[in-house]
Amino acid sequence: MALPLTVGVDGSDSAFEALDWAVDEAALHRHSLRIVYASRWERYETPTPGRGRSAGQVVGRDVVGVAARRAERRNPDLRVDTEVLAEDPVHALLHESRTSWALVTGSRGHGEIANLVLGSVGLSVAARAACPVIIVRGDEPGLHGTHDRVLLGVSDTPGGPEAVRFALREAATRDCELHAVRAWRCPAHETADHPSLPDGTCIYHQARADTLLDEALTGPLREHPPVRLHRALVEGPAHKILVERTAAADLVVVGAHRHERHPGLQLGHVAHTLLHHALCPVAVVPKVEGSIRS
């Protein structure tokens, strides 16, 4: 049986925006939808003075009930189940990630410190989850999939192959173009005297980036149906290049880093920047150990 797509809700506008996106994504990939509310999310929220209760005080069943009815209105044919968990939200969502095809969350909560919710929950989940995590954020065109383009940031990190496969599946299912981007830079300390730099240019670094891009794409491309692929080598810092290109994408996909000396996944600078500044939803894909998710 296919694993569900799980979405975390907390009653905020951002969470309902993420829910709408998750409904469409689950239907697109023919997965069921699981709606989860962690009842201790109120520790990350501050009630707004003069406006009554914060969303953290709303009964969990009411929140998931509203979410389930909203999902049903958006897609009556989608199978939906709900769960209220009396756990810390990060712990609850990390546990859910072990039995989910992907995990979806919003980019903000509500209250005066709404913009910090990503830092306290979303970033922790994206950095340590066992499945791909999609933070739903961006402008209207990016959220509504009007660009017909999936953007893939290609790196040489261990999580790279899974990120490429995920991006290929998204592009194939959406019947859209996949833009695979590899950034490269010529170190400032290197000069024309460097043996690897013919004619004093950065040809070596560009050629190496080209080779790494081919190596990253070749294996996964053989495993998936053909997609419209555009490959790009761009000189400059990867985080700036990808953020700029999210303005013309419906989803940006990057791999997560795994450091042997630290437990779980660690977000690199590129993923961290995208989660805060991308103009479309961001998928952070971990390396899958020993199995392939259905």
248 and 139 in contact (C-beta within 8 Å)? no
Task: Name beta bridge partners: 251.
Answer: 150
Q: Say what the pLDDT of residue 57 is.
A: 46
Q: Which of 181, 153, 130, 170 is nearest to 273 (CA)?
A: 153
Residue whose tokens read 């981007």? 181
Instruction: Give me the chain's average pLDDT, please.
Output: 83
What pLDDT, in 10s, does the model give residues 41-98?
A: 444 454 545 444 444 445 688 999 999 999 999 999 999 999 999 888 889 999 999 9
Contact 105, 125 (CB under 8 A): yes
Q: Is 2 exposed, middle or buried (0-12, 13-18, 19+ CB in 10 A)?
A: exposed
Please tell me the predicted confidence (pLDDT) of residue 202: 78
114 pLDDT more than 60: no
- Looking at per-residue pLDDT, the higher value among 1 and 150 belongs to 150
Residue 181 dihedral angles phi and psi, to the nearest 5°: -115, 130
Taking CA atoms, 204 is separated from 200, 218, 259, in Å, by 10, 21, 28
Whole-number pLDDT of residue 121 = 75
Confidence of residue 293 (pLDDT cuts 50, 70, 90): low
Using one digit for the tens of pLDDT, what is the confidence trace for 29-42? 999 999 999 866 44
The better pLDDT of the pair 217, 108 is held by: 217
Please provide residue 152's backbone torsions phi and psi, each rounded to the nearest 5 degrees: -120, 125
pLDDT single digits (tens) 161-173: 899 999 999 999 9
**Entry pTM:** 0.85
pLDDT higher than 70, residue 152: yes
The predicted pLDDT at position 188 comes to 62
d(CA 126, CA 156): 19
Q: What's residue 124's pLDDT?
A: 85
Q: Is the pLDDT of residue 231 over 90?
A: yes
pLDDT band (50, 70, 90) for residue 224: confident
pLDDT value for 48: 46
Indicate whether 263 pLDDT > 80. no
The alpha carbon dihedral of 27, 29, 30, 36 has a sign of negative
The model's pLDDT over 2-22, given as tens digits with 9 standing for 90+, comes to 899 999 998 888 999 999 999
In this predicted structure, the answer to whether residue 159 has a pLDDT above a threshold of 70 is no
| pLDDT of 198 over the 80 cut | no
